[in-house]
Every structure is written in C-alpha cells, then in structure tokens.
A and B are shown apart, each in its own frame.
Chain A
Amino acid sequence: MSEAARLDATFHALSDPTRRAILARLAQGDATVMELAAPFAMSQPAISKHLKVLEKAGLVSRGREAQRRPVHLEAQPLAEATSWLIEYRKYWEAQFGRLDELLAELQKFEAMADRN
C-alpha cells in the first residue's frame, strides 16, 4: 500500500467513535472480542465488523490462540497518522508567523505614507 493509501485507510478507520473507543481500550492492553463488546450496546458480530476495519488498516492484529484470539493494538500506523496531523498545524503556524512579519513591515510603510 502507498503511504497515501495507508493514511487513507487509517483515517477511515479512525472516523468512527466506536472504533476510536476500541483503540483507546486496547491502549491499556490486549482484549478479547467479548471484553471489547462489554462496554458497548452492541453484539459481538457488530464489534467484529469494526475490528475487521481496524485490522485492514493495520491498526490492530489478532492473536493465534484458537479460542481467545486476543486483539492487539498496532502503534505504528497511528504514530504516522498523528505525526502527520501535528505537522499540518505546525505548517500553518510557520506560514502565519511569516505573514505576521510581512504585515508589520507593510504597516510601517503605511505609517510613513500617512506622515508625509
């Protein structure tokens, strides 16, 4: 998957509040589907459907134990997604910082013009 496609899958997976809550729970440790379904008014198949989306985005993986198959949070795609978001804000802060300086300079010229 390309970097853009991977980010797309990550953000799609994160766009749902139930999936975000599942990730928050998994950040505390691995859990079974039954454990994950407990806090939600949802059936296990509904939770499994959300897990498939998260798994496809590489955000979670499933253990091999036949019965429990614990769900594990994979940190790397999230780290990529969040660092990208932080970069977006930093990017605009840097642009606007330069615009502040330019506006201060232009205002000096206007003040000079007013004095003449």
Chain B
Amino acid sequence: MPFGTPLSLTTPTDTQIVIARGFVAPPHLVYACYTQPSLIRRWLTGPDGWTMPVCTYDARAGGRYRFEWIGPGGDGTLALTGDIARIDATRYIDASELFDDGVMGPAYRSELRFALEERGTLVTNVLTYASLAHRDMVASTGMAEGMEMSFQNLDRLLAAEQGQGRQ
C-alpha cells in the first residue's frame, strides 16, 4: 500500500460508495482508532473547527455507537447513531447508520474492512444507500466520473458567467 496516496472514491453499483485508504500501521491499531471513543474523538472530528463532544462505542454485535459533532463557537450540530449488526475485532464492522433529523436521508449500511497489507492496513468502507438518488444526494461520486468530460467545458462556462455577474 503506497503511503500518502489519495483516498479512492468509487461507485461499484448504483447505490454504493466505496472509500478506500491505506495506512502505515497494523490493523489492530487502525481498528482501535475506529472503535475506542478516546481515539475516535481525536480524528473523526468533522469539518475544520468542529469537535466531537459526545462519542460512545459499544463494539459488539447488537451494540450501538453515537457520535455528536458541534461547530465552531457552538454553531451547528450533527449527530449520528450506528447499530452494529456484525463485528469481527480488528477485521470487520457491519453497521446501519442514521443521522438525526433526517440529515443525509434514511438509514444506510456502512461496512468497514481492515485488511493487512504489506506495509500496513487497507481500510475499505462500503456505504450502501436506499437508492441511487439517496447515494447521489450524499456524495455523488458517480457524477464525478460521468461528468468528467464536461467539467472542462463547465469550468469555462462558470468562469464566464461569474465574469458577467460582476459587471
């Protein structure tokens, strides 16, 4: 696993997003960072300036996790509950995640795999959404591929439109 490569975002099916990233550390340490609240709170803190004041993680089948983020100066909150269906310590977590207040739509499945690689760990997060529209609302990566050809045209157009707006 080459160190420092950008994360990979792919869409193998209409309802899925796959986020993959390599880490130069053994699987048991990466797994700990995903399942120990004191460690989770140090990296999964959300956008710049946000913190995670509430973090619980009951790492067992039937267990639940809860993440609550808060924005800079207390402005804005975001909260997520995960229900763990299956868990295999240091290797695999299968959970159903739901954001509070209908943010990000209905519940979706989040599977995490921690695979031992030559130089560390490959983490693969498969996110499965209720529908194509649901997935694309959350992160439309399929669009990134489909639109690639037209992006260059679009950039030119946007630059032109913005230029007009300023006059």
Contact = CB atoms under 8 A, between A and B. Distances in A.
Contact of A103 (B33, B45, B147): B33
B133 interface: yes
Tell me what chain A mostly uses at the interface: helix, strand, loop, or mixed: helix
Interface of A: 4, 7-8, 11-12, 14-15, 17, 20, 23-24, 27-28, 73, 75, 78-79, 81-82, 84-85, 88-89, 91-96, 98-104, 106-107, 110
Contacts of A107: 25, 29
B55 interface: no
A103 B25 contact: yes
B153 interface: yes
Interface stretch (B16-24, B81-89, B111-119): B16-24
Contacts of A106: 25, 29, 32-33, 39
B29 A110 contact: yes
A93 B137 CA distance: 20
Given A28-B153, A94-B47, 4 more contacts: A75-B154, A89-B9, A94-B48, A107-B25
